[in-house]
Amino acid sequence: MVNYPHNLVRKPLPKVKQEKKHINFANRGMSFEAAINRTNEYYLSHQIAVIHKKPTPVQIVKVDYPKRSRAKIVEAYFRQASTTDYSGVYKGHYIDFEAKETHQKTAMPMKNFHAHQVEHMDQVLKQNGICFALLYFSSLKETYFLPARALIDFYQIDKGTKSMPLHYIRKNGIEIKENAYPQVPYLDIIDYHFLNGSKNL
């Protein structure tokens, strides 16, 4: 599993930044991400599916090669992801998804979905991959499985500047009830709605 050390990254945040809303959002995002990572570890260890989070894309500018020790990256920058964060294989099917969290109670901000990611989702659907978003409303403690088609259609309206209302997500998605193990059992949705003949998503 890819264990990206987010806590290490966030430690040096200056106070002025921590007061900003998007940092709070990101911090809350961690726990949902952790739940999904644990879900994927469960699926992997029980030989149910092989789904990994991709490494964070980093543009490396300068590397030092100190004598007698390993290469040290001394200048690098975060890059915008060109694909979704999670992908893998389940019963031969290609699985591809993005996970987002919000503390808002009535809508999911779309600014967290980049044009490249939405385009990638469209490309995956054209190749008959199973593609979706997992959306967590932390204040409501509700998680939704939203098929990529519904997300792409909504994104087309105004290229992602509008928030996606919860009622749109409820109408076009399926709620995932949290479990003990695995915590976010999204493969159940795939079994029921994609693989049992009712390809209606």
Bind-site residues for Mg(2+): 83, 85, 98, 117
61 sits near a second copy (criterion: CB under 8 A): yes
Short-list 117, 99, 106, 120, CA closest to 186: 99
- Using a 10 angstrom Cβ sphere, with 0-12 exposed, 13-18 middle and 19 or more buried, the burial of residue 10 is middle
CA dihedral of 86, 87, 88, 93, whole degrees rounded to 10: 130
- Spell out, one character per residue from 79 to 118, where the chain touches a second copy: x when CB under 8 A holds, - when not: x--xx---xxxxxxxxxx----------------------
By CB under 8 A, which span of 27-35, 77-85, 163-171, 176-184 interacts with a second copy? 77-85
Contacts (CB under 8 A) with a second copy, residues 129-148: 129
47: left (phi over 0), alpha (psi -120 to 50) or beta: left
Two structure tokens written together for 149: 């088609």
By CB under 8 A, which span of 9-17, 30-38, 176-184, 185-193 interacts with a second copy? 9-17
30 sits near a second copy (criterion: CB under 8 A): no
Residue holding tokens 């490249």? 116
Residues forming the site for a second copy (CB under 8 A): 1-2, 4-5, 8-9, 12-14, 17, 44, 47, 49-50, 52, 54-65, 70-79, 82-83, 87-96, 120, 123-124, 126-129
